[in-house]
């Protein structure tokens, strides 16, 4: 009870979720019975449209893991997913009313609990939604939590987040979340693919991020990434590309304290701007 809602960016809208339902760690019951037939239908249509777009654009690990979500024709019960997810990687999903503050967010991840927003967008928001909803969180994020290496990366990210928060570097580290877990690209032997949830749950950005000649694509470098501002209301102008989930996991093994200093010393870079040291990846 009595937790404050959070609003990101310059939004004047109040957040949609009902935070009076949340406990002190911001989790809440999923309230599965309160979904309407129209809600289930929205999920079914989003799932159908998005899964058809994946071949050639989503990474193999995501396509392989997607069936682990179970039902496609209605919003799944989170407990049903947890029956498979817990034995697979030790992760579980927990319901939240929407975006939650940084500290409790990192804390859940550090404990292998992934927060999933429980409400779904209205039909007139089918193409674009400002806040993450249950479709973004489940379809976008949960399949890769079945991948052991990626699952370990997300937990390590959460643990690092708690340290970053204490160092006043939460905002810098959240750029790494943005450019990997939300908007990451991976170089497969057969081409560039998306693994970030923000891309995988968006029809337009899936094609844009992988195929468009417009955005800048750079081999992931932690300092370069944490210096880079991002777009919250448009397709990304910069994407960071990894070679494998193992590389991502290995990159995040060392203590980040000196990296935050390097980021602060070298300054911010606007999205879409290239610098001399970038290792650029071209498509087409
Ligand atoms: N809360 N529910 C939810 N989902 C997020 O992705 C999320 C959040 N709170 C904070 C947050 N993300 C950001 O700080 C991350 O970029 C680290
Ligand atoms: Fe997300």
Model confidence pLDDT, tens digit, residues 71-130: 999 999 999 999 999 999 999 999 999 999 999 999 999 999 999 999 999 999 998 888
The residue ranking higher by pLDDT, 24 or 283, is 24
Whole-angstrom CA distances from 154 to 72, 145, 166, 210, 216 are 25, 8, 19, 23, 25
Residue 115 bridge partners (DSSP): 94
Q: What is the per-residue pLDDT for 129?
A: 87
Q: What is the pLDDT of residue 28?
A: 98
Which atom of ligand 1 is nearest to 98's Cα?
Answer: 2
- Residue 100, ligand 1, Cβ within 6 A: yes
What average pLDDT does range 160-174 have in this prediction?
A: 97
Residue of 92, 136, 174, 202 marked active site: 136
Question: Rounded mean pLDDT of 230-238?
Answer: 93
Q: What is the pLDDT, as a whole number, of residue 246?
A: 98
| pLDDT interval class at 12 (50, 70, 90) | low
165 is an active site residue: no
pLDDT band at 11 (very low <50, low <70, confident <90, very high): low
Tell me 179's DSSP state. I
Question: Does the pLDDT of residue 136 top 50, yes or no?
Answer: yes
What CA–CA distance (Å, rounded) separates 123 from 120? 9
Q: Residue 144 pLDDT more than 90? A: yes
- 176, 225 contact by CB (below 8 A): yes
**Considering only CA atoms, which residue is closest to atom 4 of ligand 1?**
99
CA distances from 56 to 38, 176, 272 (A): 31, 25, 24
Measured from the CA of 117, which atom of ligand 1 is nearest? 2
Mean pLDDT of the chain: 94
Based on the residue annotation, tell me whether 136 is a catalytic residue of this protein: yes
Cα 104 from Cα 251, distance rounded (Å):
24
177 within ligand 1 shell (Cβ under 6 A): yes
- What is the C-alpha to C-alpha distance for residues 268 and 82, in angstroms, rounded to an integer? 40
**Does the beta carbon of 18 sit less than 6 angstroms from any atom of ligand 1?**
no
CATH architecture of 19-266: Orthogonal Bundle (1.10)
Q: Please tell me if the CB atom of residue 99 comes closer than 6 angstroms to any atom of ligand 1.
A: yes
Is 182 labeled as ligand-binding? yes
* pLDDT tens readout for residues 32-87: 999 999 999 999 999 999 999 999 999 999 999 999 999 999 999 999 999 999 99
Q: Which of 93, 88, 101, 153 is nearest to 117 (CA)?
A: 93
Burial of 123 (0-12, 13-18, 19+ CB in 10 A): exposed
Report how far ligand 2's centroid is from the alpha carbon of 136 (Å). Answer: 6
Domain regions of the chain by residue span: 19-266
Active site annotation includes 182: yes
Are residues 183 and 216 in contact, defined by beta-carbon separation less than 8 angstroms? no
Is residue 102 lining ligand 1, measured as CB closer than 6 Å? yes
Tokens 């498509």 found at: 283
Q: How far is the CA of 190 from the centre of ligand 1 (A)?
A: 32
Confidence tier at 224 by pLDDT (50, 70, 90): very high
Residue nearest to ligand 1 atom 15, measured at CA = 174
40 marked among binding-site residues = no
Pair of tokens at residue 222: 């932690």
Residue-level pLDDT at 1 = 34
Which pLDDT value is given to residue 10? 44
Most ligand 1 atoms within 8 A of CB, residue of 7, 100, 160 to mutate: 100
141 marked as part of a ligand binding site: yes
């Amino acid at each position: 009870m009595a937790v404050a809602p959070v609003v990101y960016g310059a939004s004047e809208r109040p957040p949609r979720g009902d935070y009076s339902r949340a406990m002190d760690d911001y989790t809440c019951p999923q309230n599965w019975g309160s979904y309407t037939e129209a809600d289930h239908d929205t999920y079914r249509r989003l799932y159908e449209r998005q899964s058809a777009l994946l071949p050639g654009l989503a990474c193999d690990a995501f396509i392989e893991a997607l069936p682990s979500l179970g039902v496609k024709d209605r919003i799944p019960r989170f407990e049903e997913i947890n029956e498979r997810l817990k034995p697979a990687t030790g992760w579980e999903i927990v319901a939240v009313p929407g975006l939650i503050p940084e500290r409790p967010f990192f804390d859940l991840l550090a404990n292998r609990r992934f927060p999933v927003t429980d409400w779904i967008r209205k039909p007139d928001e089918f193409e674009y939604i400002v806040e993450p909803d249950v479709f973004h969180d489940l379809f976008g994020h949960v399949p890769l939590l079945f991948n052991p290496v990626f699952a370990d990366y997300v937990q390590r990210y959460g643990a690092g987040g708690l340290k970053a928060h204490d160092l006043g570097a939460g905002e810098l580290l959240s750029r790494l979340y943005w450019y990997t877990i939300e908007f990451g690209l991976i170089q497969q032997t057969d081409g560039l693919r998306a693994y970030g949830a923000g891309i995988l749950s968006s029809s337009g950005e899936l094609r844009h991020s992988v195929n468009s000649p417009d955005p800048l694509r750079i081999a992931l470098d932690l300092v370069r990434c944490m210096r880079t501002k991002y777009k919250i209301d448009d397709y990304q102008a910069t994407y960071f590309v990894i070679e494998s989930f193992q590389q991502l996991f290995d990159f995040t093994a060392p203590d980040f304290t000196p990296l935050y200093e390097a980021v602060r010393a070298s300054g911010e870079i606007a999205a879409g701007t290239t610098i001399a040291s970038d290792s650029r990846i071209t498509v087409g």
